[in-house]
Amino acid sequence: MPGFEWLGEEEKNAVAEVMERKVLFRYEFANERKGVYTVREFEKAYADFAGCSHALAVTSGTTALKVALASLGIGPGDEVITQGFTFVATWESILDAGATPVFCEIDDTLCLDPEDLEAKITDKTRLIIPVHMMGAAARIKEIMAVADKHGIPVMEDTAQSVGGTLDGKALGTFGRMGTLSFDPVKTLTCGEGGMVITNDEELYVRASEYHDHGHDHRPVGRGNEGRRFYGFNCRMNEMQGAVGLAQLAKLPKMLETQKQTKAALKEALERVPGLTFRHVPDEAGDTATFISWFMPDAEQAKKLAELLAKHGAAPVPWGVNTWHNYAHWEHLHAGSSVIRSGWPFKRPEGDLNYDPAALPRTTALLDRCLSWQIMLGWDEDKLKQMTQAINQSVSEW
């Protein structure tokens, strides 16, 4: 991770072929493109890879969330439960839909806690969005059980765990819909891009229409049809699709490389006193984009982070992270909006207010949590250097 480390001749050739056809738009121009629809091929290839019926490529992981939310009919008056440890795009998309984000604690998987989920459900809950964080699965089976008990659909944010599985089933395929990201720091990257996946034919058709201004892509033909509803331009282009296809072919090897690196680092980290690893529900299905661990308390986590940084192997200290940690989303807590009326925080039915201290268990876990993002380009010399950093840190403990 990220996949740009392995960008090579395959991606260059794929993009060159698109350029030779001179059609960058994913639809129309059948003669000029000689019948080749690269984005469509990418969608089919990923659906086959994930074992789902439908895939729709879009411009970003954030767009994927927006398209999926619209397809599920989520809007004003609806509450959507998600977790307090995620990239900000998850809850930004909920707000953009006009719905109300409700934040849930995480557990030692660093994903949504099924027990707290049960406590957060109200008669306004219309959707649950668990996020498979940092390459590994949430307790998605337990989450699905709670959701099914209450008759609430689940949409999986799988932006950080493309290629991950749980008991052999692809992440993103447990709920009604799943969303993926192919941005610059993802293992499979198109530079930008995302995808919506589902086994529900009607949801797929809604998503397909919504992501292209309401156009129907079924036999009538785009532009010659009536429209059921309005939409937006969320279309992936042919060059992104070409890069995605080339990267998808490399994804199994990428995941295997990351797993080997993670195993070596995990063995070295076991020497650190008091360290415990993040719980991964299915090690075989982990994409190994990160290795994450907990120290007994925040003070010891800070001490270890400083020692590792001193020796050239600085980890990510999630307790102070501002992009993923609920406690540090100052714009959410302040209700800051570019819109003059204050929407989506100021609403006729009552303003939205979010207390930074509302998720104490999540804050406590993240204060103790450190991670390394595992890079595809790390070689034996890099692993040796990181192992030495661990050993030096232990000796100075």
Domain 251-395 sits in CATH 3.90.1150.10: yes
Report helix, strand or coil for 39.
helix
Dihedral of CA 70/73/77/81: which sign? negative
Q: What is the pLDDT of residue 273?
A: 96
Contact 117, 128 (CB under 8 A): yes
pLDDT in tens, 98-157: 999 999 999 999 999 999 999 999 999 999 999 999 999 999 999 999 999 999 999 999
pLDDT in tens, 321-378: 999 999 999 999 999 999 999 999 999 999 999 999 999 999 999 999 999 999 999 9
Distance CA 89, CA 323 (A): 9
Q: Encoding tokens for residue 228?
A: 């059921």
Where helices occur in 199-326 by DSSP H, the ranges are 201-210, 238-269, 298-310
Distance CA 55, CA 66 (A): 15
pLDDT at 253 over 80: yes
Q: What is the pLDDT of residue 33?
A: 95
pLDDT in tens, 198-219: 999 999 999 999 999 999 987 6
| 186 counts as catalytic | yes
Dihedral pair phi/psi, residue 14, rounded to 5° = -65, -45
For domain 3-249, give the fold: Aspartate Aminotransferase; domain 2 (3.40.640)
pLDDT over 70 percentage in the chain: 99
Q: Fold identical between 3-249 and 251-395? A: no
Distance CA 18, CA 23 (A): 7
Distance CA 316, CA 372 (A): 6
Nearest to 86 by CA among 105, 72, 70: 105
Q: What is the distance of C-alpha 361 from the center of its chain?
A: 22
Phi-psi region of 22 (alpha: psi -120 to 50; beta: other; left: phi over 0): left
pLDDT at 220 over 90: no
Average pLDDT over residues 251-258: 98
Q: Encoding tokens for residue 171?
A: 């992440």
Distance CA 61, CA 178 (A): 11
Q: What is the pLDDT of residue 218?
A: 79
Q: What is the pLDDT of residue 217?
A: 87
pLDDT at 226 over 90: no
Map out the domains of the chain as residue ranges: 3-249, 251-395
Distance CA 334, CA 63 (A): 24
What is the H or E stretch that residue 104 is in? strand 100-104
Using a cut of 0.85, tell me whether the model's pTM lies above it: yes
pLDDT in tens, 165-202: 999 999 999 999 999 999 999 999 999 999 999 999 99
Which of 66, 186, 250, 262 is catalytic? The answer is 186
